[in-house]
Chains A and B, each alone.
Chain A
Amino acid sequence: MHLIHFCLRVLLYDKTSQAIAWALLPGYALGVFPPTSLQWFLALFSIALFRVNVLTTILSALFFFILSHWADGFAGTLGNYLLTQNGLFMKIWPRLYHAPIVPFTLFNQTVVMGYLILTVAMIPLCLSATSFLDSYSSALVRWAYSTDFWQSFIASRFYRRFSQYLRYEIK
C-alpha cells in the first residue's frame, strides 16, 4: 500500500500548469525516438531532474508512440529529403556525423531526423498548453468533476479504498 501511495505521489506530485504542459516534451521524445538515441536518455534524465508531471509524460509518451506508427512515413520522407538533398546541409551533415557526441542522437537516420525537425513544433505546443491550462484548468477540473463518469467513480469502493492516499493530492 505504501508503495502504491509512493507511486501515486510521484505520478501526481507536480501539477502546476507548467509542469503539466512541459511534460509533453519528454513524453514526445520517449514516444518517437529510439531508446538507443541520446535524446531518449536526455528525456529520461529530464524527468528525474525537472519538476514535470510524470503521469502526463507517461500518457503523452504512449500517445506519441502510437501516433508514430502512422507518422513514421512522413518523418522518414522529411528526414530523407533533408539528409540527402545537395546543398548547405550536405556540408554540415558529414561534420556532425563525425563529431563527438552528436552521432548519438542518430540524426543520420531518416525517421529520427524527421522527428527532430518536428520537435521544433512541440515547443510552441508546450507554451500554448501552459497558457491554456493557466486560463482554463479550474473550469476544466470543475467540468471533469461534474461529469457522470467522475461522480460514479468517486462513489465506487475502489475510490473510497484509495482516497485516503490521495486526499492531499486531488482537491
Chain B
Amino acid sequence: MKLNNALRPYALKVILGTFAALVLYYFTLFDANLLWLVETVATKVNGARIEAHGLKTSLWKGSFQINGLSIANPFNPSENIVQFDRVNGRILIAPLFRRKLVVDSVDFIGAHFFVERQSYGGLVAENEDPNSIFDRTAPGFTSPVMANIAQTPLRLLGHLETSSELKGKLSTTSNLSTYRRFDELSRDIAALTKLKDSVLSDSESHKKLAELSGRLERLKAGRSPSSVSSDSWVSLHRDALLSVAPLSTTLDQVRGRFNRIRASLDSLDPFIRKDVAQLKSQMHLPNLDGEDLSIDLFTPSIMHYLDRTAYWLDVSRRRMPGGTPKLVRQNKARGAAIHFGHDGGWPAILVRRITFVPSDNNASDSMSGELTNLTSDPSILQSPLAMSVVINSPHSAVSNLKLDVNIDHRTTTPHETINISADSIPVRSFGLNESYDLKFLLASARLHGTSTLDITGDSLSLEWDSSFEEVKYNINSRYHQIQSSLEDAVGPVTNFNLSGRAEGPFTEIRFTIRSELGKSIAEKIHRDFKHQISAFDETLRSELLDKVDPKRKSLQYEIDTLEQAVTADFQSRITLLKDIATIAMARAKKIRS
C-alpha cells in the first residue's frame, strides 16, 4: 500500500485543527477549568469546601498564582480553618518533557485562622462524601489496641446501677459451674438408681436366701429332732452368717456414696463463688482498685489521634515508598511502578520547597516556616522530607504552635518524627468517656506543652508533657450518683498536668499516663462505689442461691428416697438371715443339750 493510500484525506488538517483548538482552549478556558478541578478534588480530600478567588497560570514561565484560597473547617463548616491571601508557585518546565513534575517553590502568603465564612462550607447538604481529611483512619493499624481499651471503668460504671441486667443475665446464663455440678450429681444419682435396681434384683442373693430358708424349713420338718444332727443346724447357722457379711458390706458402700452426694450438695459454696466471679466478668463490672485512672481516661482519645496519624503514615509510606538509590518499587492498582535512580535525574514528583510567609499587611495571625523535599521517591532524591512551621493566632488563642515533621523514607525501613509544642492552644470538646451511660468531656481548656512522636518501621514511641488550664467539664450521665460523684471529683481540678508515654508496635501499644485528674477521679469513685461493688457481690450470691436452692432440694429428696428404699430392702434381708442363724444356733444347742 502506498503512503498516500494509507493516509486519510484531510488527516493532517484534523490533527492541526485539534492542536489549534487546544491552544485556543488554553488561552480562554484552561485556568477556569483547572481552578474548578483543583477546588473539586481538594474539597473531596478535605471533606469541606476549598475555594479560591482565581487561578492564573503561565505555561512559558511555569508559574501559577492562586488568590484568596480558603479551606473550610470540616468539623465546623461555618468557618475557615485557614485561608491564605495568595499562593505563588513555580514549576520547572524541562523535567516535564521527561515526565517529571518538579515544583521548584510554592509560597503560601498571609495565613488567617478560624475566620468566619460567608457561605456554608460543608458537603453533607449536597450528599457528598463528608469524610474529613482529619478524620480518616487506617483500618487494622491499631484496632487490636482499640478493642482492648474499650472496657474502661468509667464506661462500665453504669452497670452497677442496672439491677435488671443482673436478673436478665442470671435467667439467660446456663453455663454456671453450680449447674454443671448439679448435672454431675444427677448422673451419680442415676448410677446409684441403676445400682439399686441391680442389687435389689440380685438373683444370687435371693437364691441364697431362698436356699437357706428352704434348708431351715426342711430341718424343722424332720420327723423327730434326734433324726437331724446338730451339725446340720450348725452348718445352717454358719451359712446364714456368711451370707449376712457381703450384704452388710454392699449396704455400707451404697450408704457411703449417698453420704458423699449429700455432702456435695451441702458444700456448693466454692461453685457459687466461681459463678459469681464468672457472672461479674460477663457483666463487665468495673475494677475500681486503681489509684490513677489517667490511662483509662486519656488512652481512647490518644488512640483516636494515633489512629488518624496512622492513616497519614500509611499514605506517606505508600506514596513515598522506601528503596535504594537505584531502584524504588511502588505498588499500584495494576501491577507496580518501578522508579529508577540516575545521576542528575529527577524523582517522578518533587516539591522542593513550600514556604509559609506571614501576611504583609500587619495582620494578627501568622504562619511561618517551610517544607522541603516532598517527593514520590525519597531514596532516589536521597533527602528526607522536613517541615518546620510556627503558627500564631491571637484571636484564636493559639500562641507559638510549633510543628516539626521529618519523614525519612530513604531506606526500606521508614522513619518518621513529629514534634509538636505550643505555648497555648485552645481545646474544644476533648472526649474522656463517651458511652451510653456516661458522656464526659473537657468542654473547653487551654493546653500548653510538648509532644514527640517517633516511628521506626512498625514501632512507635510517643512522649508528651502538657498542662491543661482553665478546664471546664461537661458531664452527663443517666445515673445521678455517677454524675454527682464525677462532678465532685473534677470540681476542684481546673488545672492539671498530663504527661505520659506510649511505646511498642502499633498493634500492641503500651501506655504510661499520669495526671492529677486521673488520681482525683480514681480516689472519688473508689470511695463512692467500692461498697456498691461488695453489695453487688452479695446480691449476686443470694440471687444465685435462690436460683439453685430448689434444684438442690430436689436432688436431696431423690437421694433420701433412694437411700430409704435400698436400706429397707437390705435391712429386711439381713434381718431374715440373722433370724435363720439364730434359730439354727438355738436348735443346735438344744440337740446338744
Chain A interface (Cβ within 8 Å of chain B)? 18, 34, 45, 48-51, 72, 75-76, 79-80, 83-84, 93-95, 97-101, 103-104, 106, 108-112, 114
Question: Roughly how many angstroms separate A45 CA and B383 CA in the complex, as a whole number?
Answer: 41
Specify which of B6, B12, B326 lies most central, judged by the most chain A CB atoms within 10 Å of its CB.
B6
List A contacts of B340 (CB < 8 A).
93-94, 97-98, 108
Question: Roughly how many angstroms separate A103 CA and B334 CA in the complex, as a whole number?
Answer: 17
Chain B interface (Cβ within 8 Å of chain A)? 1, 5-8, 11-12, 14-15, 97-100, 326-327, 329, 332, 334-342, 344-346
Contact A79 B342 (CB under 8 A): no
Question: Roughly how many angstroms separate A83 CA and B345 CA in the complex, as a whole number?
Answer: 18
List 5 tightest A-B contacts by C-beta distance, closest first.
A103-B99, A111-B335, A98-B345, A110-B335, A76-B335
Q: Beyond A76-B336, A109-B335, A110-B338: 19 further Cβ-contacts under 8 Å?
A: A34-B334, A48-B8, A49-B8, A50-B11, A51-B5, A51-B6, A72-B334, A76-B335, A80-B335, A80-B336, A93-B340, A98-B342, A98-B344, A98-B345, A100-B98, A101-B98, A103-B99, A110-B336, A110-B337
10 contacts between A and B (CB under 8 A): A18-B1, A48-B15, A49-B11, A50-B7, A98-B342, A98-B344, A98-B345, A104-B99, A109-B337, A110-B335
Question: Roughly how many angstroms separate A112 CA and B1 CA in the complex, as a whole number?
Answer: 31
Residue of A nearest to B346 (CB): A98
List B contacts of A79 (CB < 8 A).
335
Is chain A's interface secondary structure helix, strand, loop, or mixed overall?
A: helix
CB distance from B53 to the nearest CB of A (A): 31
Contact B97 A101 (CB under 8 A): yes
Question: Roughly how many angstroms separate A87 CA and B579 CA in the complex, as a whole number?
Answer: 112
Is chain B's interface secondary structure helix, strand, loop, or mixed overall?
A: mixed
Contact B336 A51 (CB under 8 A): no
How many residue pairs bridge A and B at CB < 8 Å? 82
Residue of B nearest to A72 (CB): B334
Give which listed residue, B5, B15, B97, B332, contacts A109 with CB less than 8 A: B332
CB distance from A88 to the nearest CB of B (A): 14
Question: Roughly how many angstroms separate A110 CA and B339 CA in the complex, as a whole number?
Answer: 11
Residue of A nearest to B9 (CB): A51
Contact A76 B334 (CB under 8 A): yes
Question: Roughly how many angstroms separate A41 CA and B344 CA in the complex, as a whole number?
Answer: 29
Question: Roughly how many angstroms separate A95 CA and B345 CA in the complex, as a whole number?
Answer: 9
Contact B97 A97 (CB under 8 A): no
Contact B6 A48 (CB under 8 A): no
Contact A50 B346 (CB under 8 A): no
Residue of B nearest to A96 (CB): B340
